[in-house]
Amino acid sequence: MQEPSPRETEVLELVGSRLSNRQIGERLYISVRTVESHVASLIRKLEVADRRELVTYASEQKVDASGIAASRVRDNLPLPRSSFIGRGVERGRLQEMVLREPLITLTGIGGCGKTRLALEVASGLVGDFDDGVFFIDLSAVTDSTLVGPAVSGALKLQILDPTPDALADYFEDRETLLVVDNCEHLLDACADVADALLERCPRTRILATSREALGVDGEWVFPVPSLDIEGEAVALFGERALSARPDLQLDSTSEATIVEICRRLDGIPLAIELAAARAAHLSITEILERLNDRFRLLVGGSRRVQRQQTLTAALDWSYDLLGPDERSLLGRLAVFRGSFSLSAAEAICHPQALELVGSLVDKSLVSVIDRGGDVRYRLFESVRLYADGKLVETGESEQFRSAHRDYYLEWIESLPLDVRGHRVLGTLLLVPEADNLTAALEWCRHQGRYDLCACIAANMSSYWFAFYRASEMKAWWRQLEAGIPAEDYDHRAKALLVGGWAALRALEWEELNKRSAQALALADPHSWVGMEAQYLQAVCWSVTDPPRGDDAFERLFEIEANIGGSPYPVAHDLFYVSRLQRATSGEEALAILDDWIVDVGDSTPTTYMPVAFALYGETQTALELMSRAALLPRGLPLGQFVNELHQTVWASTQAKFDEAERHLATLTAFVRDFAVARGEAACLVGFAKVALDRGDFGRASHLLATVDSRFGPGNRSLGDPTVALVYAHCKGVLGEFINLEIT
């Protein structure tokens, strides 16, 4: 490995910070073409595959680009699970086209490698889009009205009603690449979104995959060809066969047989990989012999039909190798969306799933996902669709989709109160099953079982809230509102919880008040539904009518005590923060803080407490509380917002201004990327707090005046209780300063 030159080291530092080529050129005062030359040289010298690996290398080597204040390029591209073979010409051509053309659609049959090629192209362009590169998988979306929510959900945006025009509003001034995968079953909806973005978003690029073109003006259709037989296809088969059986001996005779296998499979990657996996149990010659009879039928017809039949034949061939129980299980596994656990497969599909799933993994029909010891399984989408057809043929489709629905309904309702209901901290447990829960909801809707929809959706509301999935929550609320009769009190109360959480995420206080009050009137006050409705009511009143909010929180605490289980700490925090905002003297504020300390006792506090104590000058107590406070999980978007906001205030009160401004920069980027309601107010108040602690009263006054002019003064306009508390604190300090100046 050659050592980079000094100039190349500078470029490497900036690549490690995920700056685009243009940004690097501006920093080093060199042309973009020169930057491209240095990047290519670094890839060669450091022996990495592409720019994405170069970024990883820089991070692992702890390359530090300190002092560079540029926005970091974001992406959510999934990491590849296997090596990418071939497609060099197509990849290079597509990367050039994506930079030039607004919409490119990769077309071809399922299994031809559209998704993998799109991801490889996108990974090489991460540094060329200042506002990020994002992957949007539509495979789990069956309703055309949910395409917009899928786009906003993949980017974790809070767009209440993500119509094509609303998405165009968001992307209008952004330089973004969207990789939209599996469009074929949602062509009209995808075309509407693409059309709106092409018309109004000149710097946004779309790279779509579909079995057919979207049919939008300005679309470039790129048919994904089969692999080159004697080069790419043979290399793919050889690598996958050796992976299945490492001691496999490949010589000139076997290579000729492999060429024939790849030719019979038309160079289609999925078919080749399925065939190569059989090398674990069959010889190369036996694999070829088993293809002979099956593909004798594929003669004549159009090229497109031949390819579809070829893929179907490859899947049929793999299916024919299965035993009766394996075939039965494979069909039933089609009811899952995304990944699934072994216990779910055993409960829903087959009691002997342990052995059978392992056998299907060995035959490459099911993949394994191991995240830190949490093993889950997944069907490749082409295999899942094939298996779904087999399930329909058996006449078992409705039976096992209903079993899937019942399993996930029982699962989510069996979770402890610390997870479901308004326990936002527990929503991370729902993440692996989110696709399955959505599939269960869609099956309920298909059957017209809105009562069961309400049961699942009510338990998912805190998940949607914590992950800024406001549009999804709002869409389900509309359907539940229309689908559940008024006399069905129990399920209507649960539906109203969904509507209440949607209103809270949007800071629609009147709607929140109405829906939570209606839910309270319908629900058993000592049920978890009544408790959650009481929580929503308390939050609403703490903002719109604080004294009434105190009473509502007290009632909530009584319900918690009656139901049992651990108290919800954030509810207690909001109660005390609301009281602090109305304190008329320092003595009253200190008394409230004392009550708060007693209430928490030896429990682990959240970061609300030390921040509040620091604002009121209780530095030592604040330090002790912060030392044992629990940050919200980083994997929770809501946690990212709260943590960055609290860390900003905490650092500023300790005169750690550089640290505070770093947290503010992260907070500002988060607010922008997630389109957080009233998020700009949070940032402005944070900047005002830092300015005030620096002694820059003029800047602080200007920032607070900006908040007042844009949002109006008061808790109701600011939304987040911490923002309102810091706002009131800053106003108070400024008032004291002005009075001193006057006297």
Confidence of residue 740 (pLDDT cuts 50, 70, 90): low
Q: Which residues contact 518 (CB under 8 A, 6 or more apart)?
A: 493, 496
The token pair at 460 is 């998912």
Q: Would you state the pLDDT for residue 734?
A: 86
Looking at residue 325, its pLDDT comes to: 93
Higher pLDDT: 577 or 737? It is 577
Query: What pLDDT does residue 721 have?
Result: 79
CA distance 39 to 55: 11
Segment 693-702, tens digit of pLDDT? 999 999 999 9
Mean pLDDT of all residues in 561-582: 81
Average pLDDT over residues 545-549: 91
The pLDDT-based confidence of 67 (bands split at 50, 70, 90) is very low
CB 436 within 8 A of CB 404: yes
Per-residue pLDDT reduced to its tens digit, 298-313: 223 333 434 344 567 6
Q: Token pair for residue 281?
A: 């149990």
Weakest mean pLDDT among 61-65, 67-71, 491-495: 67-71
Count of alpha carbons within 13 Å of 57, Cβ hemisphere only?
A: 21
First vs last C-alpha separation in the chain: 71
Strand order in the sheet with 219-223: 133-137, 177-181, 205-210, 103-107, 219-223
72 — pLDDT class (breaks 50, 70, 90): very low
Residue 294 pLDDT > 60: no
Q: Give the per-residue pLDDT at 216.
A: 94
pLDDT at site 433? 94
pLDDT band, very low/low/confident/very high, at 582 (cuts 50, 70, 90): confident
> What confidence category does residue 742 fall into, taking pLDDT thresholds of 50, 70 and 90?
very low
Cβ neighbours around 13 below 10 Å, total: 19
Residue 655 — very low, low, confident or very high, per pLDDT cuts 50/70/90?
A: very high
Q: Which two tokens stand for residue 493?
A: 């109360």
Cα 562 to chain centroid, rounded: 36
Q: DSSP letter for 183, please.
A: -
Higher pLDDT residue, 576 or 298? Answer: 576
Q: Tokens 């209507």 sit at which residue?
A: 492
DSSP E strands: which ranges in 296-360?
339-340
Question: Please, which pLDDT band fits residue 725 given cuts at 50, 70 and 90?
Answer: confident
**Predicted local distance difference test score (pLDDT) of residue 739:** 57
Lowest mean pLDDT among 303-307, 367-371, 387-391: 303-307
The pLDDT of residue 16? 79
Residue 743, pLDDT above cutoff 60: no
Contact of 131 with 23, CB cutoff 8 Å: no
CA distance 511 to 721: 19
Task: Judge whether residue 497 has pLDDT over 50.
Answer: yes
CA distance 487 to 622: 51
Other beta carbons less than 10 A from residue 199's beta carbon? 15
* Interstrand relation of 367-371 and 374-378 (parallel, antiparallel or unpaired): antiparallel
User: DSSP code of 448?
Assistant: T
Contact between 549 and 541 (Cβ < 8 Å): yes
At residue 589, does pLDDT exceed 60?
A: yes
Burial 632-642 (b: 16+ CB within 10 A, else e): beeebbbbbbb
Mean pLDDT over all residues of the chain?
86
pLDDT tens figures, 219-275: 999 988 889 988 899 999 998 888 888 888 888 778 999 999 898 887 888 888 888
Q: Dig out the tokens for 61 from the structure.
A: 């080597």
Compute the distance between CA of residue 710 and CA of residue 731 in angstroms, rounded to an integer.
Answer: 16
Select the more confidently predicted residue: 237 or 21. 237
pLDDT (0 to 100) of residue 304? 40
The per-residue pLDDT for 300 is 31
Supply the pLDDT for residue 64: 43
Q: Quick check: 110 pLDDT over 80?
A: no
Checking if the pLDDT of 440 tops 80, the result is yes
Quick: pLDDT tens for 75-96. 889 888 788 888 889 999 999 9
Mean pLDDT within 668-690: 90
